Each structure stands twice: as structure tokens, then as C-alpha cells.
Amino acid sequence: MPVRGSRGGTYLDQQTLVAAGAPAPGSFEGNGRGSHLLGGQRAAAVSTVSTVVFIGGVIALFVFAPGAAAVRHTFFNPQQMKQAFLGDPSKGLYSVGKGLILNIEMFLIAEVLILFFALVIAVLRQLRNPVLFPFRMLAVVYTDVFRGVPLIIVIYGIGFGAPALYIRGVSTQSDFVYGIVALVLSYSAYVAEVYRAGINSVHQSQVAAARSLGLSQWKSLRFVVLPQAVRTVIPPLLNDFISLQKDTALVSTLGAVIEANRAAQIDSSTLFVYSSYTVAALLFLCLTIPLARFTDRLIARDVSRRMAGGATVR
Amino acid sequence: MSEADATGGFGGAARGDASLSGNPALVGQEAVRLEGVHKSFGVLEILRGIDLSVAPHEVICLIGASGSGKSTLLRCVNLLEPVNRGRILLWGQDVTAPGVDENAVRRHIGIVFQSFNLFPHMTVLRNITLGPIRVLGVPRDQAEEAGRALLVRFGLSDKRDDYPDRLSGGQQQRVAIVRALAMRPGIMLLDEVTSALDPELVSEVLGVIRELADAGMTMLIATHEMGFARDIADRVCFLDEGVILEQGPPRQVFTAPVNSRTQQFLRRIVDAGRL
């Protein structure tokens, strides 16, 4: 059998890891792997020089561009950034920092609901019981529709449509609730597809083994297929949640919700300084980058585990 | 149950018979009977009229080239593949009839696959107790006790809490056999269970199968291990292009085959040094 994933790393090893998003040989965050392939020190020197030139170029652009001073004043004004972050009640300014907390609350509630709802849809699409046919059709239509409609339209539809219906208990909810409903509706369609890909990635022989023990289709799914599928899709799921985290900001378009971007809008409209946007962006990055790194680590771990076990027949 | 006890506690035909048909009077009848079984995948006809009957405690080895239909035959008996034509009877009951609960049928049939197909996300003990707990409704502590006993019996007790990917191929396949046995099946189907193993690991798995045969387990074994088939089988069936061309006691089939295709096949096996 080819390539037992040795620590030293063979050629195939490198290729697979690079493809999976691990640091390329000789990049500045490189871990020394594969340096013998490209001639070690020379590769390190080349990558250092190219990095310095690139970063230097970007900085030069900000320093020497004709409008550089204005951009610095508008977007990177330290005084304004501080004020935007903390808020200033005397001037009627919302705190971007506080808005972000609301954003995180929304994100966490939506995430739990999405994980559950999407799983139900994915499972419905999988079961072949004829009794469930209408539900299966519904699940197909649902995923088709909500993957095709832009999130902002779903937010408007729920946020402005639901109150217009004047249904007791439905039409009197806050924008916070409508926002979460819209996010759940839209994202569950994507996440259901991710689950489904995971379910399909579990080899048919696993199903055969489960069924041959006398497990019903549902029990095979529940005890054998789903646990493996969910494990496989954790990295892509985290990926979707990084974008959910950002997209939660779109709920601010409903108006009343004090939320990171919203705060930035109000702030800028009074002062015509966009530093509050920069603050909001930086805060988002503080949340999404750790999540992205965590996802990368999970993927890398998954790849190395699969290669370690790659020589055995499954 | 005295017979089951005599066979080492994992159930002979008597037990399977009684619990499948609910009629103890059928004890002693054929364990499996195939009548004119046809199976196609699209235009590809894999089984073209298989007639075969297996007596309780009988060990039958299916030999033949790859693609001759051995695996498909076993999968049909287990209802993993629906047959196109013909009937399959287990202890006298037609399991290919409409309305038969396939899950109930499969409870009484153990199958072991070429590629083990252990559940990679479960420990060895969980692998072998899944069926008893979730299908038979055995309480967890009882199922685990029975599972531990089986693992001890087959020399796997130290692997109890390991995940399958920590085991050698031979150990994985032995676990797969134990997983099937944990359901106390009345018949075992073995589908080229040593074909995916490194040569030095084959004998440990064959040893387990011998033990089952000695204990009186009814078995249908598809295999390329001709020496093993000659030793263990009560009867050898030679499959060629979806039909059983020749069958008989191993001594007869291996040393004095009548059919020219059987002769050809065996000559190739001998030339390859496999017999």
C-alpha cells in the first residue's frame, strides 16, 4: 500500500496537506516540513523576501496614495474608533462593542436551531419510507427555495411580512426574533445540504453491515451513518457558521436592532467618519479568525488521521 | 436449547428454526433452500438459476472465479439484494415472499464481509453489542456481559475498548465474526472473509471459522482458500457464470471433478500454487 503517513513526509504527503490548506512548504509559517524538497535555506530566503516586498507594497499604497491622508482620517481615526467602540450616550451614540454582544447572542441561538432543523431536513430527504413522501418533497422544495433566495430578502420578508399579517403571537415579536427566524430559514437549507453530503460520504458497506444485523433503515441511520457523517462535516459546518456570524449583521437592516453594523451606521451618519465601520470590521475579524483557524486545525487533524489509517481496508 | 448449549452457546439451527418460524416441529428441516434464484443488475445477469439446499450444521463452500456470483448469492440469502426470480426458504419459510419483515429475517442470519465493515466510530465492544441492544432489545449490561464472554472466547478480550483502526486486519475480521455471532444467528454467511488480509493474518481467521464448524454452526462460505475449503467443507459448490456447475464432497470435487470448467478452474488454482 502507498504512503503510510510518516512524520518526515513523503511527496504525496505534502501534496495532500497543501491541498487541505496546511502551510505550504517554505511559507513563513512553515514548520520545516518538506524543506529538503525545495533546498531548505534558499526556499526560506525567497519566501522571506517575497513576504517583505508584498507587505511593504501594501503599506506604501496606504502611505503614498493621493487620498491616503483622508482615508486614514476617515477610517482609522483613533479618537473616533475609541468612541465608536465604547459608545457615547451624551451624543446619542450606540456602542459598537455592545451591538456585537447582541450579534453574538443572535448567532448562538440561531446556530443551535439551525443545527437541529437542518439535520431533520437532511434525514427526511434520506428516508425511503413511502409514507414520508410528502415530507421528502417538502424538504426538497424547501432547500431549493431557501438556497436560491438571498438572505437579505428573507430577512425583509419575515421582518416586515410577519408583522403585517396581524396574527396574534406571530406578528408581535421583536426584530431580534424575526432576525433569528430568517437566519434559521436561510441557513438551514445550506446546512441540510452539508449534512446530506456527509451522509452520502459514509460508505454503502457500512449501511450493509448495519442492515445485516437486522437494524431498520432509521436505526442504521441513527446509530451508524449519522455519527460518522456528522464527524466528517464538522469542518464545513464551522465554515458555514463563520459566514452566519457575519450575516447576522444583515438583521440590522430591520431597523430597531442595536447591532454592530447598525451602531456603525448611526455613528457615521452623525459624524461622517467611518472609523466605526473599521471598529465593527475588526471586531468581526476577532471572532471569525479564531473560528477559521480552529476549522483549519480540525481539517488538518482529519487529513492526518485518514492518512495514518489509509493502509487498512475499510 | 440443549442443542444450542452443545454448540458452544451461539445457537445452532434448532434455535434459529424455532424462533424464526415459531414451529419447533420444523427442527431437522433444511436450514436454507434456494429454488431457481435469478439476480440481475441492469442487463448484467449475475445469478442464472441457483438451486441449493443447506442442511442444519452443514458447511458449504462456494468456489469459483471472481464474478461467478458467490458474493451475490450470499447477499441474496441475507436479503441485502432482492432476487428477480426464484425463492429462498429459511427453515422452510419463504423469505422472498412479499410482506416478509426483512429485519426479522436478518436477525437470524450472520454475514461477514470481505472488507470487515466494522463501525469505525465504536469500540470493539460497542460494535458487537449494537445489534443485541438495538435489535434484540437485550439490556445493555447483559449484552456487554455476553459480548465480553464472546471476546474472551475468541482471544480478543484485550481489544475490547479499542477502536477498529487500532486493530490488525485479522483482528478486525475476527471482531466482525464475533459481531455476527453476538446476534446468535442460526446460519453464518462468510463472504471471502480472508481475501483482504495479509497472508500471515489469514490463519487466525480461518481458525475461528474452524471453531464455528466444529461447534456445529451452519455455514455458507464463499472462499478462494481452496486448501481450507477442502478441509472444512461438507460440500463444495463450484459456481460459474451464475450457476452451480458442480457440487459434491470436497474430496470428489477437488480430486476428480467431472465438469470440464471445474477442471480448468482447479488447474489454474493448482498452477498458481494455491492448492
- Residues of A numbered 187-246 whose beta carbons fall under 8 angstroms of chain B's beta carbons: which are they? 205-206, 208-216, 219, 223-224, 227-228, 231
Residue contact B117–A309, C-beta within 8 A: no
Query: In the structure, what pLDDT confidence band is assigned to residue A277 with cuts at 50, 70 and 90?
Result: confident
- Whether residue A33 lies inside any domain: the answer is yes
Contacts of B205 in chain A (CB under 8 A): none
Residues A37 and A185 in one domain: no
Which of A206, A312, A313 is facing B119, going by the closest CB pair?
A206
Predicted confidence at residue A307, as pLDDT, reads 62
Cβ-based neighbours of A303, under 8 Å, separated by 6 or more: A16, A17, A20, A22
CA dist., res. B102 & res. B235, Å (int): 28
Confidence of residue A19 (pLDDT cuts 50, 70, 90): very low
Better-scored residue on pLDDT, A38 or A131: A131
Residues of chain B found within 8 Å of residue A220, distances taken between Cβ atoms: none
Work out how many domains chain A is built from and give that number: 2
If you measure CA to CA, which chain B residue comes closest to A229? B121
Query: Of A38-42, A252-256, B6-10, where does mean pLDDT reach its minimum?
Result: B6-10
Residues A54 and A197 in one domain: no
What's the confidence (pLDDT) of residue B113? Answer: 95
Mutation for A interface: B105, B106, B119, B191, most A CBs within 10 A: B119
B107 chain-A contacts, CB cut-off 8 A: 213-214
Same domain, A200 and A94: yes
Say yes or no: A188 and A57 in one domain.
no
In a domain, A70, yes or no: no
pLDDT value for A204: 92
CATH of the domain at A208: 1.10.3720.10
Q: Which residue in chain B has the smallest CA separation from A211? A: B103
Identify the weakest region by mean pLDDT among A16-20, A304-308, B189-193, B227-231: A16-20
What's residue A110's pLDDT? 93
Residue A6 domain-assigned (yes or no) = no
CA-to-CA dists, residue B123 to A151, A304, B111, B126, angstroms: 43, 21, 20, 5
- Asked if residue A285 belongs to a domain, the reply is yes
Q: Are residues A211 and A280 in the same domain?
A: yes
Kindly state whether residues A149 and A34 are assigned to the same domain: no
**Which chain B residue lies closest to A217 (C-alpha atoms)?**
B103
**Cβ-Cβ contacts under 8 Å, A215 against chain B:** 103, 130-131, 134-135
- Are residues A37 and A124 both part of a single domain? no
Q: How many CB atoms lie within 10 A of CB A45?
A: 12
**CB-based burial label for B233 (10 Å; 0-12, 13-18, 19+):** buried
Instruction: Map residue B114 onto helix, strand or coil.
Output: coil
Domains of chain B listed by start with CATH number = 2-271 (3.40.50.300)
Q: How far is CA A13 from CA A29, A30, A42, A44, B228, in A?
A: 18, 15, 22, 20, 40
Alpha-carbon distance of A82 to A255, in angstroms, equals 24
A206/chain B closest Cα distance in angstroms? 6
Is the domain of A282 the same as that of A204?
Answer: yes
A309 touching chain B per CB within 8 A: yes
Count the neighbouring beta carbons within 10 Å of the beta carbon of residue B95. 23
What is the pLDDT averaged over residues A204-211? 95
Q: Which residue of B has its CA nearest to A226?
A: B121
A213: closest CA of chain B, how far (Å): 6
pLDDT digits (tens, 9 = 90+) for A258-269: 445 555 555 555
**How far apart are the C-alpha atoms of B129 and B131, rounded to whole Å?**
6
Scanning every residue of chain B, which has its alpha carbon at the shortest distance from the alpha carbon of A227? B121
Residue A58 domain-assigned (yes or no): yes
A313 touches chain B (CB under 8 A): yes
* pLDDT for residue A314: 37
Asked whether the predicted pLDDT for residue A171 surpasses 80, the reply is no
A90-114 average pLDDT score: 81
**In this predicted structure, what is the pLDDT of residue A203?**
93
Greater model confidence, A14 or B177? B177
Q: Do A210 and B119 touch (CB under 8 A)?
A: yes
Q: Could you tell me which chain B residue has the CA closest to the CA of A231?
A: B121
Check residues A200 and A14 and name the one with the higher pLDDT: A200
The ipTM, to two decimals, is 0.86
Q: What whole-number percentage of chain A has pLDDT above 90?
A: 28
Residues of chain B with pLDDT under 50: 1-26
* CA end-to-end span of chain B: 39
Q: Are residues A163 and A291 in the same domain?
A: yes
Is A75 part of any domain? Answer: no
CA dist., res. A288 & res. A277, Å (int): 16
Distance from CA of A209 to the nearest CA of B (A): 6
Structural domain span for residue A282: 86-308
